[in-house]
């Protein structure tokens, strides 16, 4: 969702990989960035990275404020490079400020209300069962590859009316865009992939225009804002955003949930006996290992954060993953506790950009977890497995999750 373009039209500025990696740690992508965040909250809660010129905030109150005070901290990100994925998101919801933001958002909220999303539950359960049926008898598998990765992409492609035979390509595009948004302007090959995706969506849009269906693209096509239809770039922006927003993030919520539960003795057994606790446990996973660790903003005017003046036009990174471990907000913040209540984590953001897909992500993860617990008895992370984090400082998730259980 949450991965913002680093290129595209906008104020002259480049927020790329360097901006973040330098202050996190340069040796790849740690599964445990949390001690680093803790040091930053204590010593440099509002940090200026001299090399990239960007600002970083780490404390809960500051992150919450930066995410929600849109008049000061704008979402209109983008560097000077108009090619690649940045262009796709240039006219999209996640990079819009009011009043345009409100108009665009009203078009999709309908599709993602808890009620609309709940109607998808039987289909999500069916897909989950099909995916697990393939591995149940084996006693071991990579749960990212077999379940957490395919489930969200199938669900979002069905919502958008993407034919089943195109799903593989769809997933591939999503991966390329996610890696572009992390790494800055894409290389030639990635640009070709983006072009291929645009061509595909244009054809799909044209087809739905002549033969509308029940899908999200058809409803976006017929939607009007003040009597005006969405432009083609806006439609493309929506398609790309939904494609990226809903995939990697939900995959990682499911993967991170298995990891957190497996690490916490007795928790899997307890949830198996009391499945009603699963939603609350998932909220704690969202807090403890947030799938989206950071979001970008840019200052519209000079601002002061925690006493630190920040000039106008400054790129800023709000560290959600750090806010969610802030001891000023959460008691025993470093402890994974499925009984935590209240749990005001910021994993889905805060304010007007709060994740539109949150009800869907929560539902998919709940169904996936229920099925994993009931169908893979004795589930645990494969002994001796070396868990590696995906190559991103923004997205937090595992490359693979080798697991074992008692085969059916
Ligand atoms: C926005 C996280 C799943 C669609 C956001 C934001 C976050 C986030 C942090 C706020 C961005 C900001 O403040 O700038 C997550 C996480 C997910 C998830 C952690 C899974 C666990 C989904 C799904 C969809 C989705 C499944 C759709 C199918 C969106 C959209 C926005 C958004 C469209 C932009 C909303 C706006 O700008 O008004 N998400 N997301 N997300 N998310 Fe998600």
CA dihedral 324, 331, 401, 252 (to 10 degrees): -30
Share of the chain above pLDDT 90, in %: 63
Alpha carbons 102 and 327: distance in angstroms, whole number = 34
pLDDT value for 172: 82
Pinpoint the alpha helices (H) of 274-389.
278-288, 320-323, 358-375
E strand or H helix at 132 = helix 121-133
Q: SS3 helix, strand, coil % of the chain, rounded to 5?
A: 50, 10, 40
The closest-lying atom of ligand 1 relative to the alpha carbon of residue 75 is 14
More confident residue, 317 or 19: 317
pLDDT digits (tens, 9 = 90+) for 36-69: 999 999 999 999 999 989 999 999 999 999 999 9
Which residue's C-alpha comes closest to atom 41 of ligand 1?
A: 357
CA dihedral 9, 12, 17, 23 (to 10 degrees): -140
Instruction: State the burial class of residue 50 (Cβ atoms within 10 Å of its Cβ: 0-12, 13-18, 19+).
Output: exposed
- Ligand 1 center–CA 242 separation, angstroms: 9
pLDDT digits (tens, 9 = 90+) for 72-113: 999 987 443 344 455 666 668 899 999 989 999 988 888 888
Return the DSSP state at 71: T
The closest-lying atom of ligand 1 relative to the alpha carbon of residue 67 is 13
**Cβ of residue 368 lying under 6 Å from some atom of ligand 1:** no
**Cβ of residue 253 lying under 6 Å from some atom of ligand 1:** yes
**Picking from 16-30, 84-98, 237-251, which range would have the lowest pLDDT averaged per residue?**
16-30
pLDDT digits (tens, 9 = 90+) for 293-333: 999 999 999 999 999 999 999 999 999 999 999 999 999 99
- What lies within 8 Å, CB to CB, of 334 at 6+ separation is 34, 325, 327
Alpha carbons 339 and 316: distance in angstroms, whole number = 33
This model's pTM is above 0.80: yes
**Cβ of residue 87 lying under 6 Å from some atom of ligand 1:** no
Q: What is the ipTM of this complex?
A: 0.99
The tokens describing 75, both together, are: 């979402």
**Cβ of residue 336 lying under 6 Å from some atom of ligand 1:** no
Which residue's C-alpha comes closest to atom 37 of ligand 1?
A: 94
- What lies within 8 Å, CB to CB, of 401 at 6+ separation is 142, 143, 144, 148, 255, 258, 259, 381, 387
- Ligand 1 center–CA 393 separation, angstroms: 17
**Cβ of residue 360 lying under 6 Å from some atom of ligand 1:** yes
- Ligand 1 center–CA 356 separation, angstroms: 6
């Amino acid at each position: 969702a949450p991965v913002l373009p680093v290129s595209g039209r906008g104020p002259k500025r480049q927020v790329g990989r360097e901006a973040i990696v330098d202050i996190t740690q340069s040796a790849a992508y740690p599964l445990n960035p949390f001690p680093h965040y803790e040091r930053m909250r204590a010593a440099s809660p509002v940090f200026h990275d001299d090399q990239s010129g960007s600002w970083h905030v780490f404390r809960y109150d500051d992150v919450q404020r930066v995410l929600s005070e849109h008049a000061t901290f704008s979402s209109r990100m983008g560097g000077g490079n108009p090619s690649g994925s940045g262009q796709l998101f240039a006219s999209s919801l996640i990079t819009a400020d009011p009043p345009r933001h409100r108009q665009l958002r009203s078009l999709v909220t309908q599709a993602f209300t808890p009620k609309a999303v709940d109607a998808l539950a039987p289909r999500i359960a069916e897909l989950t069962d099909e995916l697990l049926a393939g591995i149940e008898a084996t006693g071991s598998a990579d749960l990212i590859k077999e379940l957490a990765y395919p489930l969200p992409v199938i669900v979002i492609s069905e919502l958008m009316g993407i034919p089943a035979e195109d799903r593989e390509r769809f997933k591939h595009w999503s991966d390329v865009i996610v890696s572009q948004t992390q790494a800055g302007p894409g290389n030639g090959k990635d640009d070709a992939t983006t072009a291929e995706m645009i061509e595909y969506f244009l054809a799909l849009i044209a087809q739905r225009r002549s033969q509308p269906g029940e899908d999200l693209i058809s409803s976006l096509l017929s939607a009007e804002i003040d009597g005006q239809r969405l432009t083609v770039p806006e439609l493309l922006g929506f398609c790309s955003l939904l494609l990226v927003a809903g995939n990697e993030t939900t995959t990682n919520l499911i993967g991170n949930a298995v990891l957190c539960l497996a690490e916490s003795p007795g928790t899997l057994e307890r949830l198996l006996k009391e499945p009603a606790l699963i939603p609350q446990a998932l909220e704690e996973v969202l807090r403890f290992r947030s799938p989206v660790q950071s979001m970008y903003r840019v200052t519209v005017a000079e601002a002061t954060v925690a006493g630190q003046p920040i000039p106008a036009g400054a790129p800023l990174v709000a560290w959600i993953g750090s806010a969610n471990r802030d001891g000023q907000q959460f008691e025993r913040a470093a402890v994974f506790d499925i009984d935590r209540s209240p749990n005001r984590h910021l994993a889905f953001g805060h304010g007007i950009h709060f994740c539109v897909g949150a009800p869907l992500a929560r539902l998919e993860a709940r169904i996936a977890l229920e099925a994993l617990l009931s169908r893979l008895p004795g589930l645990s992370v494969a002994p001796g497995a070396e868990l590696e984090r995906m190559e991103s400082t923004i997205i937090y998730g595992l490359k693979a999750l080798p697991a074992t259980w008692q085969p059916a």
